[in-house]
Structures are given as C-alpha cells and as structure tokens.
Amino acid sequence: MKVGVLALQGAFREQREVFAALGCEAFEVRSARDLAATDALVLPGGESTAIAHLLRTGDLLDPLKERIEAGVPVLATCAGLIISAREVVGGLKGQVGLDILDVTVKRNAYGNQQQSFEAPIDISISPDPFPGVFIRAPVIERVGDDIEVLGAHDGSPVLVRAGKVWASTFHPELSGDLRIHQAFIQSASE
C-alpha cells in the first residue's frame, strides 16, 4: 500500500516510519503532484494553524479534499484532526480546513504544554487499553450522526471513525504501539 504523509510541517517523519515498519510504501506529500500515487493519506500532528496556512499558500487544500472525497482512506492525528473537522473552536480567523469529518473540535482544550499527558485509553478495536499520548491536544466537543466513536477519555471521544476517515486527538505514532495503524491499514485494504 502506498501511503502519502502530508509533510508540510509536524510529526510526518514518525508517521512515515510507522507505516514503513508495517510494510507500506510511505512517502511525503508536499504538493498536489505527490497526491496522485496515494492509496491512503495521513494528516499528521503539528501546529494546525501553520499546516492550514501552508495548505492554502501551497494550493494543496482543494486537491487534497478532492482526493479524499474520491475515497482515499485517511488517518488524521491531533492537528490533522483539526484540519479535517467541520467546525473548529479556537482556530484563527479564516483558518481553512478540509471539512471531511463531521465533528466540532476545540483546540488546546486541556491547556498549555504542562497539561500534555499520557493516559491509557479504552479502545473498541482491541481488548487492551491503548497508551494515549496527548500533546497540547484538542477535544472533540460534538460528533455528527455518521461518526463512530472508537475510544474515549474523560467522557470525550478521542478516537473516531467516519467510513474511511479515522481520526484521533492523541498520537499513536509516538506511543510505540502499532494497533491503531494496523487496524487502519486493514480497513483501508478492504
């Protein structure tokens, strides 16, 4: 499977390495021409305002949205989730997004870096808890009718899925645990 990792800014290298470790051909996406060969897409963590800015200046927003709406599976983490969301609380004025996931997400909802944390998360795709790494993480405040909640923490969804789009508020790529990536790859191959 060819996995394109959006590499405008953020933790794209970690995502590329995890997918490569799982036998995928993972490569970095910085422009619209890099999108053509993708069987799946990753929208990594990073700073969502910077990524949104670079999507706009690089004329990448519409080609990316078209590719996803054509049915390419997506794994979005943290900032990637914010970029994907229908509605963002606490974003910049005029901050662009893909609107591929019907959720309302609040940026930096736990507070500053001192509130970044690790905690085990119960996930429905596996019997054992998943090591959640939350870094200046957002909180999903509302989910649409088509959203399946696969994991929650403190009463809020932290891992969700809408068809071929998977999204988490935490960073599975930093946890050393491959189960979420494996489940995503399996569903993307179906």
Partner 1 sequence: MSSESDRHHTGTVRVKRGLAEMLRGGVIMDVVDADQARIAQDAGAVAVMALERVPSDIRRDGGVARMSDPSMIENIQATVTIPVMAKCRIGHFAEAQILESLGVDYIDESEVLTPADEAHHVDKWAFTTPFVCGATNLGEALRRISEGACMIRSKGEAGTGNIVEAVRHLRSILGTIRSLTVADESELFVWAKELRAPLELVQEVARLGELPVPMFCAGGIATPADASLVLQLGAQAVFVGSGIFKSSDPASRAKAIVEATTHYREPAIVAKVSRGLGEAMPGEEIAGLETRLSERGW
Cβ closer to partner 1: 39 or 47?
47
Count of residues near partner 1 by CB under 8 A: 44
Strand 130-134 vs strand 139-143: parallel, antiparallel, or unpaired? unpaired
Q: Does 58 bind partner 1 (CB under 8 A)?
A: yes
Q: Does 20 bind partner 1 (CB under 8 A)?
A: no
Tell me how far apart the alpha carbons of residues 137 and 122 are, in angstroms, rounded to a whole number: 17
* Nearest distance, CB of residue 190 and partner 1, angstroms: 31
Q: How far is the CB of 33 from partner 1 (least distance, A)?
A: 11
Burial 162-187 (b: 16+ CB within 10 A, else e): bebbbbbbbbbbbbebeebbebbbeb
Does residue 24 carry a catalytic annotation?
Answer: no
Cβ burial of 5 (10 Å; 0-12, 13-18, 19+) is buried
Question: Would you count residue 16 as binding partner 1 (CB under 8 A)?
Answer: no
| Residue 181 bears catalytic tag | no
- We find the least distance from the C-beta atom of residue 154 to partner 1, in angstroms, to be 8
Binding partner 1 by CB under 8 A: which of 107, 161, 164, 181?
A: 107
Nearer to partner 1, 107 or 161 (CB): 107
